[in-house]
Structure 1
Amino acid sequence: MKAFARAELRRDLAGVVYVPAAQDPDRLGAALRAEDALVALQVRYGGSDPEHAPWLVAARPFPLGPGLTRQLERLGAAVFALCDTAQDLYAEGDPHVRAALDIGVPEDLRGRDLERRIELFRLDVVVSQGIPRVTEVEEAFGNVGKMHAFERAYGVGADELFRAFHRRGIERIWMDDQYPTYLPENELAARRMREQFGRPVEVEFFSRFHDDGRRGWRFCYVKELRQYGAPLRREIFAAAERLINPLFHGFGTKALLPLVWDPALESPIAERLGAEATSVLRACVPWSQVLPTRPDPELVEQFKPCGREKVLKVIDSDASEFTWGSRGVFFGDHSAGRWRGALDAAAAGHVPGCPEATGSRFVISDLVDSDRFDVEFLHPQSRQLCLLPRARIRLTPIYAREAHGSELLGGHATFVNTSRKVHLGHHAVCTPFVLSCARA
């Protein structure tokens, strides 16, 4: 990466530091065409204006290269194995697994569909020193509709992703009523399914759930089915075999990955995973620990001097909006005082800065710093190519369970250079990644 003098840096785009780039006509033309495609499809993020691209448009896709492609493939297989192992240990009544996975889950939502395996998930991955470090497993995930849009914008094929949905006979997408902003994206996914396979796919909220015999993709964590009344929940339970993913609640919690590092589970998990999957998970899952409901004061004090190395995440809260996205993520490397305050809030059971958000549980993890990348993007006002220097990266690979094992279906890369929270928005560059055909 080139080093830029402070005088070269521009800051007229909110939340973005950039420099002008060479105006290569081919790359500029590609970026303009990509923007036109995204706007034509009215792609949105949150409450963004559909008449404009919801993020900074990259000039080209991001190539993973053979080494990173292979590492992501191995990571997906290892995460499938972890999900299966956690599910089996839960079914056998392991107290450590149950204590972690049951956090915030009502009694009638626990332990369902134990005989059925997870079929689809997405990972949130930070690339650090060339190694993919997984920060979250998402079994109810966005980005499917985006992959259709990215195919139109950049020519990166999404057929395999939608074939994976088609093979499962999905004809409905059942959404969490709390997150209507995902409706346009899921409608885009449904439109692609209709176009590619001639199969009608309907998008509806769980509040209107009814079982008509058709298979549906569950775009709602099992735990969040608690928002619906008991009669509707019973109707959902009765149709469980027609929902993907299965209704096992353990797939959708931030307490899943810390099982890898639980000392009480080290032997039983490693024995079931096998040497390869254990090695991959230990290399790619940052150390993490679920904080007890009332943590020992000595434990809390132990973490206070470690702020620059740790991150605190909300697992569960009475204010459920803190369990989605980046709102419930608190980094320790900004201010020592704020970090100590965040730990004290977590120990007291409320979200830092929001004492009214009680009933909150947390996981503390090692902080993983991203490798840095220089990324070209289209300036939304000047229509010129610019460079986002030294940007952090987040990858969101999507996987399916197939007969031969785990399959990496695609995903996208997000780049941000003004925040540790690498998420979408007008401050971020977003582009599909390209898998390498030649695996290392």
Structure 2
Amino acid sequence: MAIFAREERRHDLADVVYVPTAQDPDRLGAALHAEGTLIALEVRYGLSDPEWAPWLVAARPFPLGPGLTRQLEELGSAVVALCDTAQDLYADGDPHVRAALDIGVPEDLRGRDLHRRIELFRLDVVVSQGTPLVTELEEAFGNAGKMHAFEQAYGVGADDVFRTFDRLGIERIWMDDQYRMYRSENELAARRMREQFALPMEVGFFSSFRDDGRRGWRFCYVKELRQYDKRLRREILAASERLINPLFHGFGTKALLALVWDPALESRIVQRLGAHLLAVLRATVPRSQVLPARADTTLVEQLKACGRQKVLKVIDSDDSVYTWGSRGVFFGDHSVSRWRDALDAAAAGRIPGHPEASARFVISDLVDSDRYDVEFLHPQSRQLCLMPRARIRLTPIYAREGRSSRFLGGHATFVNTSRKVHLGRHAVCTPFVRSPDPA
């Protein structure tokens, strides 16, 4: 990685540090083409301005390399096995599993579809010392629309994603009414399905749900169906055989990954997963635990003392803004006093800095990303620039394949001014390219 003198660095883009770079005409042309394509397709992130790309446009895709590709493939299959194991233990009435997965879930939404398995999911992955570390599992993800756009912009194929949608018989997308900003991205996915498979795919919100016999992709956590009245909930639940993913609420909680490290579950998980898969998960899932609703003083003081190695994440809150994106994430290495205050708030069941909002938390080991120098197009100067020492987040998408998984694709996001690597005008976003194993 190159080292850049301080005087070379530029700060005219909000929350971005960058340096000039050589203006290779081929890469510049590729970046300009990608930007124009994203704008023409009206790709949005949240409420971004449609006249601009919603993020900093990379000059080229990110190459995973054969080693990282192989590790991500193995990780996806291990996560499928973990989901199945958690679902089976829940069905068996295991009290530790139920206590973790039931947090914030109304009684009528608990334990649905225990006979059906997860079909589609995305992981949030940090690459640290060359190893993919999974920080979150998402069953409701908007990346399918991005994959269609990235295929047009960079030529990275998205067929695996949309052929999987077709194989699963998905003919519509049902969305959470609280997240209307994701509609434009899901409309891109629906457009692709109409064009490629001649399917009359529609995007709608659960508030207008109707059971017309067509299979739908559930773009809403089961827990969040609590926002709808009981009559509508009964209709949605009665149609569960036509929804993907199935309505087991445990797929969508941040507490799921913490089960890997629960000492009370170790023997039961080993019995079902096997020692190898548990070892894979413990090598790729940072050590974590659900913070008790009434955490004792000794535990809280221990966690305060190791703040630089920890991160707090909201599992559930009465204000759902903290359960999506990065707003419910609190790092321990920013300030000793802020970390102590955050833990006091979490131990009391409150959002740090927002005592009016109640919440439950998981606490995990803090992992730092490897750093990358990433080339992107400056949105004003129209020149290529370099974002140095950027942290990475990968978002690989998987589909179930028997007891294993199929790695369908995804994208990489880079940020160099914050630990929170998420999309926005301060981030570089680009599809990644998988590499076959040379063996």
Normalised TM-score (structure 1): 0.99
Quote the residue 1:146 is aligned against. Answer: 146
In structure 2, the residue corresponding to 1:356 is in which secondary structure? Answer: strand
Quote the residue 2:205 is aligned against. Answer: 205
Query: Could you tell me which amino acid in structure 1 is paired with residue 160 of structure 2?
Result: E
Whether 1:309 aligns to 2:309 is yes
> 2-side partners of 1:439 and 1:364: how far apart?
38
Contact 2:123 2:397 in 1 (8 A): yes
Quote the residue 2:355 is aligned against. Answer: 355
Quote the residue 1:337 is aligned against. Answer: 337
> 2-side partners of 1:298 and 1:402: how far apart?
45
Quote the residue 1:258 is aligned against. Answer: 258
> 2-side partners of 1:380 and 1:410: how far apart?
27
Quote the residue 1:56 is aligned against. Answer: 56
Whether 1:432 aligns to 2:431 is yes
Q: What value does the CA root-mean-square deviation take over the aligned residues?
A: 0.8
Deviations 1:138-184 (A, max 9, x none): 01112110000000000000001000001011111000000000000
Deviations 1:272-328 (A, max 9, x none): 111221111010000000011010011000010211100000000111110111000
Correspondences of 1:347-386 after superposition (within 5 Å): 347-358=347-358, 360-386=359-385
Quote the residue 2:34 is aligned against. Answer: 34
Quote the residue 1:240 is aligned against. Answer: 240
Quote the residue 2:168 is aligned against. Answer: 168
Q: How many residues align?
A: 439
> 2-side partners of 1:404 and 1:279: how far apart?
18
> 2-side partners of 1:21 and 1:84: how far apart?
48
Quote the residue 1:298 is aligned against. Answer: 298
Contact 1:124 1:394 in 2 (8 A): yes
Query: Could you tell me which amino acid in structure 1 is paired with residue 59 of structure 2?
Result: A
Query: Could you tell me which amino acid in structure 1 is paired with residue 419 of structure 2?
Result: R
> 2-side partners of 1:404 and 1:25: how far apart?
47
Contact 2:81 2:403 in 1 (8 A): no
Contact 2:19 2:386 in 1 (8 A): yes
In structure 1, the residue corresponding to 2:301 is in which secondary structure? Answer: helix
> 2-side partners of 1:403 and 1:137: how far apart?
19
> 2-side partners of 1:277 and 1:217: how far apart?
29
Query: Could you tell me which amino acid in structure 1 is paired with residue 310 of structure 2?
Result: K
> 2-side partners of 1:439 and 1:138: how far apart?
30
| Cα distance change, pair 408–193 in 1 and its aligned pair in 2 (3 A) | same
Which 4+ runs in 1 deviate beyond 6 A? none
Correspondences of 1:180-191 after superposition (within 5 Å): 180-191=180-191
Correspondences of 1:110-125 after superposition (within 5 Å): 110-125=110-125
Quote the residue 2:192 is aligned against. Answer: 192
> 2-side partners of 1:196 and 1:276: how far apart?
40
- TM-aligned CA deviation for residue 270 of structure 1: 1.3
- TM-aligned CA deviation for residue 405 of structure 1: 2.9
> 2-side partners of 1:357 and 1:224: how far apart?
17
Query: Could you tell me which amino acid in structure 1 is paired with residue 398 of structure 2?
Result: Y
Quote the residue 1:85 is aligned against. Answer: 85
| Cα distance change, pair 268–168 in 1 and its aligned pair in 2 (3 A) | same
Quote the residue 2:387 is aligned against. Answer: 388
